[in-house]
Amino acid sequence: MDHPDVLAWRDGHIEALDQTALPHQVRTLRIGTVDELVRAITSLAIRGAPVLGAAGALGVALAVRQGSGEGWDDTRLAAEIARIAAARPTAVNLSREVAAVAARIGDGTAAVEGAALAVLESTGATSLRISARGAEYLLQACGDGPLRVHTHCNTGALACLGWGTALGVIRALHVAGALSHVIVDETRPLLQGARLTCWELGQLGIEHQLACDGAAPFLISQGRADAVVVGADRIAANGDVANKIGTYSLALAARQAGIPFVVAAPESTIDAATPSGAAIPIEQRADEEVTAPAAPAGTRALNLAFDITPAELVTAVVTEERLIPGGRPA
Amino acid sequence: MDHPDVLAWRDGHIEALDQTALPHQVRTLRIGTVDELVRAITSLAIRGAPVLGAAGALGVALAVRQGSGEGWDDTRLAAEIARIAAARPTAVNLSREVAAVAARIGDGTAAVEGAALAVLESTGATSLRISARGAEYLLQACGDGPLRVHTHCNTGALACLGWGTALGVIRALHVAGALSHVIVDETRPLLQGARLTCWELGQLGIEHQLACDGAAPFLISQGRADAVVVGADRIAANGDVANKIGTYSLALAARQAGIPFVVAAPESTIDAATPSGAAIPIEQRADEEVTAPAAPAGTRALNLAFDITPAELVTAVVTEERLIPGGRPA
């Protein structure tokens, strides 16, 4: 895609496309401290489960460099690394990749940076394998197309590097000449669908239409899509899926309409240590993301950033390694 | 409520609270021509199925006055009245009340104005009866409370005069000490929930929280509400319900969660001439309501203003006259 790197490691700094500024501004953040990284993650300048994993990996390298310059002891270094891992709670990729790279600290700075860069590179490569397998599965499940695909939030290069997860599957269908068009949920409150997915699809020349989140289940009920494809922030051992708020409603509508509900995500999203969706921590964000500017001053909100789709509503999970049948008959 | 009349007839003009300016500005429109009225209706300055019915009734009186001043012949008068009736297609109340008052034109101006004012008055009175019956039904269906009620869009005095329909039911529960709190969907794209319902509930001192439309089905699945109560724009002969886009997703979630999904609406919303939801015209509005300002320039949208909830997902319809069991067992 014709834009700066979504995420890179240059001269001991993390460079990241500022996703809060898109689509109207294309701006790169240069991040040199743990504070700056945590702020970029909590503000969603850096976002998307796989990109969060890679940013966490690079964050460990950043913390080691900063700690070495500022003379941190091991306790301080561990505390700073823990802050990165905890910057957002729902996507397991962040804490997992932080832990994996932090385990190399005893081997020295070069080993840590090497491990972090390996995560960065494999994240993009993984997305290409998910994309290909997901497209193949959809064509099996839905026929030869051209397919109409409904998706949610942003799961493209911006979230995952490479081609993305759900959006990578869509791109692979497009490249294969098997895509009709995409229906994109705007994804309130932060509008990642309207801002980011529409921008990526526009850059790729893929036909798309934007819909309000509340409209999506009705559009699905009216036969407007052949399949729903989404990403995931964490998949529990029983197959329950945590993903951007709004996902559950699509899964319910897809089952009712009899179309596949497919989750495209890297293996690193699967968390065998979490038995079910009920054990996945759901991030609650500030009321103002929902209330401003339309609601009267002082209005309170229920602002869950993610929801849980029970395995029984999932047709299949596609990873870079395998196709995992969901709890719902295909 | 401590605000100017939602809708009134003064000195041969329609006065209407400008609902596009709320909640930040409380402003009254003074409407003296059919053009102005049609603009107020299409822009949603005047909105809500029962208020549209009353505005249509007053609109006929307005057209008769304007026509008499400007020397319209019968053909012109009929054409202008038809424009009012067709200003928005989905709520049957508008065309129905226009037709009812227009039938009195042969009886003279005073008869027309009298008939229009009767519609205005009965609209408010009707809402009080719906409110009381709906509250009684919910307490039967859900137990003595205090109840947590999920609602959508705006169905209060602003939409219905009096107490409203769904919001009237909520107000009646509150007055009876049987309401815990309300969860209000923001109701994209025009945010009638965030702007209007939160404002009305604030004025009434009723505790409430705002949620994104895409979050609503998940919140319902998590046991956060005892019932879903919504209004309607048209109810077909088979019990299918047209209401603000987003309603279908709530009905699906309510059935899955095993809580009542109740429609509160005046008898005038029931359209025996429309056999099923498939025959209800669904208004499509401008792309920009969805795309601006977040999406990239040129993004297309699917902007249906209403959706259809099949009767099989409805637990009950409450009107001013009766309780009609829906297609879903209570």
pLDDT, one tens digit per residue, over B301-313 is 999 999 999 999 9
Mutation target among B282, B291, B299 for the A interface, most CBs of A within 10 A: B299
Q: Which of residues 264-293 of B touch A (CB under 8 A)?
A: 287, 290-291
* Sign of the dihedral defined by the CA atoms of residues A168, A169, A175, A181, in that order: negative
- Separation of alpha carbons B301 and B89, rounded Å: 20
Q: How far apart are CA B131 and CA B129, in angstroms?
A: 5
Label each residue of A215-274 as H, E or C. Answer: HHHHHHHCCCCCEEEECCCEEECCCCEEEECCHHHHHHHHHHHCCCEEEECCHHHEECCC
Query: From the CB of residue B277, how many other CB atoms can be counted at a distance below 10 Å?
Result: 21
- Which CATH superfamily does the domain covering A7-122 fall into? translation initiation factor eif-2b, domain 1 (1.20.120.420)
Residue A131 has pLDDT above 90, yes or no: yes
- Mean pLDDT confidence for B138-165: 96
Q: What is the pLDDT of residue A306?
A: 98
Q: Give residue-wise pLDDT tens across range A139-168.
A: 999 998 899 999 999 999 999 999 999 999
| A44 CB within 8 Å of a chain B CB | no
Residue A99 pLDDT > 80: yes
Closest CA to A311 of A227, A273, A255, A259: A255
3-state secondary structure of A165: coil
For residue B130, give the H/E element and its range: helix B109-142
With a cut of 70, say whether residue B235 has pLDDT above it: yes
The whole-number pLDDT of residue A240 equals 98
* Chain A nearest C-alpha distance from B314 (Å): 15
Task: Report yes or no: B1 and B200 within 8 Å, Cβ to Cβ.
Answer: yes
Using CB atoms, pick whichever of A188, A189, A210 lies closest to residue B299: A210
- Distance between CA atoms of residues B222 and A199, nearest Å: 33
Known catalytic residue: B233? yes
Q: What is the model's pLDDT at position A3?
A: 54
Mutation pick from B207, B249, B252 vs chain A, by most beta carbons of A within 10 Å, is B249
Q: Alpha-carbon distance B288 to A280, whole Å?
A: 37
What's the whole-number mean pLDDT along residues B136-147? 95
**Closest approach of chain A CAs to the CA of B115, in angstroms?**
37
In the block, which residue shows the tokens 């460099």? A65
Q: How far is CA B225 from the centre of its chain?
A: 22
Mean pLDDT along residues A252-259: 98
Element (H, E) at B175: helix B166-175
Domain residue ranges of chain A, discontinuous segments joined by +: 7-122, 127-325
Average pLDDT, integer, range B34-48: 98
- C-beta atoms of A198 and B295 within 8 A: yes
Q: Is A15 exposed, middle or buried (0-12, 13-18, 19+ CB in 10 A)?
A: middle
Search chain A and give the residue with CA nearest B304: A215
The closest of B187, B175, B176, B184 to B149, measured between CA atoms, is: B184
Residue B135 has pLDDT above 50, yes or no: yes
Q: Among residues of chain B, what percentage have pLDDT more than 70?
A: 99
pLDDT at A2: 43
Alpha helices in chain A (DSSP H): 34-42, 49-70, 74-85, 92-102, 109-142, 157-160, 166-175, 192, 198-204, 216-221, 247-257, 288-291
In the prediction, which pLDDT does B218 show?
98
Task: Band the pLDDT of B329: cuts 50, 70, 90.
Answer: confident
- Summarize pLDDT for B175-187 with one digit per residue, the tens: 999 999 999 999 9
pLDDT of B16 above 70:
yes
Q: Say what the pLDDT of residue B145 is.
A: 85
Active-site position among A185, A233, A240, A307: A233
Whether the per-residue pLDDT at B2 is higher than 70: the answer is no
**Interface mutation vs chain A, best among B151, B154, B188, B309, most A CBs within 10 Å:** B188
Distance of CA A238 to the CA centre of its chain: 20
Distance from CA of B28 to the nearest CA of A (A): 19
Residue B3 has pLDDT above 70, yes or no: no
Q: How far is A167 from chain B (nearest CA, A)?
A: 17
Mean pLDDT of chain A: 97
User: Given a cut of 50, is residue A1 above it in pLDDT?
Assistant: no
Residue among B218, B248, B256 minimizing CB distance to A245: B218
How high is the mean pLDDT of chain B? 97
pLDDT of amino acid B274: 97
Q: Class assignment of domain A127-325?
A: alpha beta
